[in-house]
């Protein structure tokens, strides 16, 4: 440089230089600072996040999701808590053709060997198709799943899917109903309570039915035995608590396995107890007598009617199987199931009162129960004239479901109060349905001895289960299209001196056998079935057998004038 001369004033370019450098330096500092701050912030954020995770974060090995126990669809249990329908995880075998890597033809052959329901050609066609997925089998057995897994083919899809299982198979099948492939209820309780069973909030708690498994099983077994014995095409049975309207057992035959409902015939899927309507014949007579007593037409069991061999009314002739041919009392009319006598009582009662009573008992509407399968009753409707009144009086010309009959008998013997039938257990969570009075308490009381009389001295003698005081009424009706085919039924109540349960059984087209001496009336086929069933279920229901107890028969026995043969 030059000699050191005191520079009093810096050269302007130099000054500018210094200023520039400073500016640049400041800028660099500023940038460095910003960079450092960003870096620090990132590190700080990471550190904070780590600390937070260490303090409050989840454990690395945490497994979530398994804590949910609620099934996909709510369970259905009987009144004692035994499972009737559960949802379990079942293996499903599928195939994804696009992901198959091995020899497709060899695979098709192996599949045919493992699952012979399709042949190798079909499997091969599936494997070569463009579709993404085929279901091969639902609800596969674990052994088969193992074998499929051992094929080592990634194209085979094994998965677990919720599946509806009915552990008791055919037990109470028509009550429970069944679900379709997608798990939606398509019949019975499954259909009626679809919302309740699939609601996430409620499906954790099982749906408790009023059905009692042992009683249901007893009824089904005895009914099936009778169907086999008398070659009937079908049958229905109901056992009901008359005070609450709870249905303890309800069955319809032929049987249906809800686990494979699609394999059953349409006949098997048909619920005869609630959907089928039948002319139930003489089982209606107690209603007519009770109506007449309530209306004051019949004043005592000893009231006499003229019972000729045949009654000619309005151009029609009414016959009896055991014609009296003399005057007969109400007690005799009931004991011998006289159409002629009952028709006269109905005539005195009149059409209007008869319809009013039937309406109050719900016989003119669909039966009241939770199920959706409810049959429409067939009644004379607008043509309810004199002759219709008479025939309805003894149970012809009106077709109702067996459940109607059970509800009606319950109303007749629980003190006269009609309550809708229910399939849900009556307890704190589910109150019995609202009732309304149909018959007076006095009528209800008097009817006890009258129905007991039918079993001790009348047409229902074979229905007596010794010690259990069964009372009831037989009914035999001819089918409209073929009068040789019959529908036989029995509506019974026990124990008669303090009625608690009603049992209704019906056989559709029973045939005469050698043991019944060629008869196919209710007294010969349904009545013995009632006797067997009652002696089996009554101890389970807490009814104590006692041969010394009887309802008050003093009202009716004196009016049994002569033993009709």
Catalytic residues: 282
Min dist CB 536 to other proteins, Å, is 4
Min dist CB 547 to other proteins, Å, is 6
* Sole binder of other proteins in the list 3, 67, 314, 554 (CB under 8 A): 67
Within 10 angstroms of residue 417's Cβ, the number of other Cβ atoms is 19
Min dist CB 219 to other proteins, Å, is 11
Question: 141 or 310, CB closer to other proteins?
Answer: 141
The reply on whether position 312 binds other proteins by CB under 8 A is no
C-alpha torsion sign, points 135, 138, 141, 145: positive
The reply on whether position 536 binds other proteins by CB under 8 A is yes
Helix (H, G, I), strand (E, B) or coil at 143: helix
Question: 116 or 143, CB closer to other proteins?
Answer: 143
The reply on whether position 83 binds other proteins by CB under 8 A is yes
Min dist CB 202 to other proteins, Å, is 18
Nearest by Cα to 457 from 319, 366, 327, 550? 550
The reply on whether position 31 binds other proteins by CB under 8 A is no
The reply on whether position 62 binds other proteins by CB under 8 A is yes
Restricting to residues 87-116, name those near other proteins by CB under 8 A. 88
Question: 5 or 263, CB closer to other proteins?
Answer: 263
Within 10 angstroms of residue 222's Cβ, the number of other Cβ atoms is 22
Question: 42 or 88, CB closer to other proteins?
Answer: 88
The reply on whether position 173 binds other proteins by CB under 8 A is no
The reply on whether position 353 binds other proteins by CB under 8 A is no
Residue 24 and residue 22: Cα distance in Å, rounded? Answer: 5
Cα radius of gyration (the chain) = 39
Task: Tell me the site size for other proteins, rule CB under 8 A.
Answer: 40
* Sole binder of other proteins in the list 179, 210, 213, 391 (CB under 8 A): 213
Q: Which string of DSSP letters, residue by residue, matches 213-260?
A: HHHHHHHHHHHHHHHHHHT-SEEEEEEEETTT-BEEEEEEES---GGG
**Inter-residue contact 408 to 283 (CB < 8 Å):** no
The reply on whether position 501 binds other proteins by CB under 8 A is no
* Sole binder of other proteins in the list 381, 547, 554, 565 (CB under 8 A): 547
User: For the chain, how far is it from start to end, CA to CA, in angstroms?
Assistant: 157
The reply on whether position 183 binds other proteins by CB under 8 A is no
* Burial (Cβ within 10 Å: 0-12, 13-18, ≥19) of residue 304: middle
The reply on whether position 127 binds other proteins by CB under 8 A is no
**Inter-residue contact 95 to 118 (CB < 8 Å):** no
Min dist CB 60 to other proteins, Å, is 8
**Distances from the Cα of 57 to the Cα of 63, 126, 195, 489, 542, angstroms:** 14, 49, 39, 71, 60
Nearest by Cα to 123 from 151, 161, 82? 151
The reply on whether position 212 binds other proteins by CB under 8 A is no
Q: Which stretch binds other proteins (CB under 8 A): 7-15, 196-204, 503-511, 543-551?
A: 543-551
Question: 119 or 546, CB closer to other proteins?
Answer: 546
For 123, residues 6+ apart whose C-beta sits below 8 A from its C-beta are 107, 108, 109, 111, 112
| Alpha helices for 414-475 (secondary structure H) | 441-457
Cross-strand pairs, 472: 492
* Sole binder of other proteins in the list 19, 35, 44, 57 (CB under 8 A): 57
Min dist CB 244 to other proteins, Å, is 24
Q: Identify the DSSP state of 118.
A: S
The reply on whether position 558 binds other proteins by CB under 8 A is no
The reply on whether position 549 binds other proteins by CB under 8 A is no
Question: 355 or 533, CB closer to other proteins?
Answer: 533
Q: Which stretch binds other proteins (CB under 8 A): 149-157, 272-280, 401-409, 536-544?
A: 536-544
Question: 66 or 554, CB closer to other proteins?
Answer: 66
Q: Which stretch binds other proteins (CB under 8 A): 55-63, 192-200, 290-298, 475-483?
A: 55-63
The reply on whether position 382 binds other proteins by CB under 8 A is no
Host H or E run for residue 146:
helix 142-150
CA triple 147-150-153, angle to 5 deg: 115
**Distances from the Cα of 356 to the Cα of 52, 359, 563, angstroms:** 77, 5, 35
The reply on whether position 155 binds other proteins by CB under 8 A is no
Nearest by Cα to 452 from 538, 303, 561, 557? 557
HEC secondary structure over 43-95: HHHHHHHHHHHHHHCCCCCCCCCCCCCCCCCCCEECCCCCEEEEEEEEEEEEE
The reply on whether position 11 binds other proteins by CB under 8 A is no
The reply on whether position 171 binds other proteins by CB under 8 A is yes
Question: 160 or 359, CB closer to other proteins?
Answer: 160
The reply on whether position 546 binds other proteins by CB under 8 A is yes
* Sole binder of other proteins in the list 40, 44, 81, 167 (CB under 8 A): 167
Nearest by Cα to 525 from 505, 501, 546, 498? 505
What is the largest distance, in Å, between two alpha-carbon atoms of the chain? 166
The reply on whether position 483 binds other proteins by CB under 8 A is no
The reply on whether position 44 binds other proteins by CB under 8 A is no
- Residue 476 C-alpha from the chain's centroid: 27
Within 10 angstroms of residue 385's Cβ, the number of other Cβ atoms is 11
Min dist CB 560 to other proteins, Å, is 25
The reply on whether position 201 binds other proteins by CB under 8 A is no
The reply on whether position 428 binds other proteins by CB under 8 A is no
Plot region of 172 (φ>0 → left; ψ -120 to 50 → alpha; else → beta): left
Min dist CB 216 to other proteins, Å, is 8
Residue 512 and residue 269: Cα distance in Å, rounded? Answer: 26
Helix (H, G, I), strand (E, B) or coil at 75: coil
Q: Which stretch binds other proteins (CB under 8 A): 26-34, 37-45, 138-146, 211-219?
A: 211-219
Residues lying near other proteins in the complex (CB under 8 A): 54-59, 61-63, 66-67, 69, 82-83, 86, 88, 165, 167-171, 213-214, 216-217, 220-221, 465-468, 532, 535-536, 539, 544-547
């Amino acid at each position: 440089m030059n000699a050191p001369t005191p520079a009093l004033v810096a050269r302007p370019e130099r000054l500018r230089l210094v200023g520039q450098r400073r500016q640049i330096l400041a800028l660099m500092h500023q940038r460095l600072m910003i960079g450092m701050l960003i870096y620090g912030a990132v590190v700080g954020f990471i550190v904070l996040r780590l600390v937070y995770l260490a303090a409050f974060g989840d454990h690395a090995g945490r497994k979530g999701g398994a804590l949910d126990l609620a099934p996909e669809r709510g369970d259905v249990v009987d009144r004692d808590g035994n499972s009737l329908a559960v949802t379990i995880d079942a293996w499903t075998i599928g195939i994804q053709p696009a992901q198959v890597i091995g020899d497709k033809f060899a695979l098709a052959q192996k599949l045919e060997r493992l699952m012979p329901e399709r042949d190798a050609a079909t499997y091969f066609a599936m494997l070569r198709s463009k579709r993404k997925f085929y279901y091969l089998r639902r609800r596969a057995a674990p052994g088969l799943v193992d074998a499929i897994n051992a094929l080592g083919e990634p194209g085979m899809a094994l998965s677990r899917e919720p599946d509806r299982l009915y552990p008791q198979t055919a037990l109470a099948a028509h009550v429970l109903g069944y679900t379709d492939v997608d798990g939606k209820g398509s019949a019975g309780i499954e259909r009626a309570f679809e919302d309740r069973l699939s609601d996430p909030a409620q499906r954790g708690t099982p749906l408790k039915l009023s059905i009692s498994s042992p009683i249901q099983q007893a009824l089904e077994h005895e009914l099936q035995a009778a169907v086999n014995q008398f070659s009937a095409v079908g049958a229905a049975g109901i056992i009901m608590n008359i005070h609450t309207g709870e249905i303890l057992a309800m069955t319809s035959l032929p049987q249906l396995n809800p686990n494979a409902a699609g394999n059953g015939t349409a006949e098997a899927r048909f619920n005869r107890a609630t959907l089928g309507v039948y002319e139930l014949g003489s089982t209606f007579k107690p209603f007519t007598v009770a109506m007449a007593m309530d209306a004051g037409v019949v004043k005592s069991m000893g009231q006499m009617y003229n019972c000729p061999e045949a009654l000619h009314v309005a151009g029609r002739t009414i016959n009896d199987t055991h014609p009296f041919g003399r005057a007969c009392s109400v007690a005799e009319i009931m004991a011998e199931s006289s159409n002629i006598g009952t028709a006269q009582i109905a005539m005195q009662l009149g059409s209007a009162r008869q319809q009013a009573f039937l309406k109050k008992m719900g016989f003119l509407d669909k039966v009241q129960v939770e199920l959706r399968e409810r049959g429409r009753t067939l009644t004379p409707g607008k043509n309810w004239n004199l002759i219709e009144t008479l025939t309805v009086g003894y149970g012809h010309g009106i077709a109702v479901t067996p459940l109607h009959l059970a509800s009606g008998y319950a109303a007749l013997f629980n003190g006269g109060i009609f309550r809708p039938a229910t399939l849900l257990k009556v307890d704190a969570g589910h109150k019995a349905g609202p009732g309304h009075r149909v018959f007076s308490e006095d009528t209800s009381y008097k009817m006890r001895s009258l129905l007991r009389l039918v079993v001790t001295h009348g047409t229902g003698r074979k229905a007596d289960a010794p010690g259990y005081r069964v009372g009831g009424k037989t009914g035999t009706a001819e089918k409209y299209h073929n009068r040789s085919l019959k529908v036989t039924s029995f509506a019974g109540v026990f124990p008669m001196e303090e009625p608690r349960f009603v049992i209704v059984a019906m056989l559709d087209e029973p045939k005469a056998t050698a043991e019944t001496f060629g008869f196919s009336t209710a007294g010969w086929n349904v009545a013995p079935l009632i006797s067997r069933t009652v002696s089996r279920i009554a101890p389970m229901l807490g009814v104590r057998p006692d041969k010394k107890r009887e309802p008050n028969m003093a009202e009716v026995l004196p009016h049994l004038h002569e033993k009709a043969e």
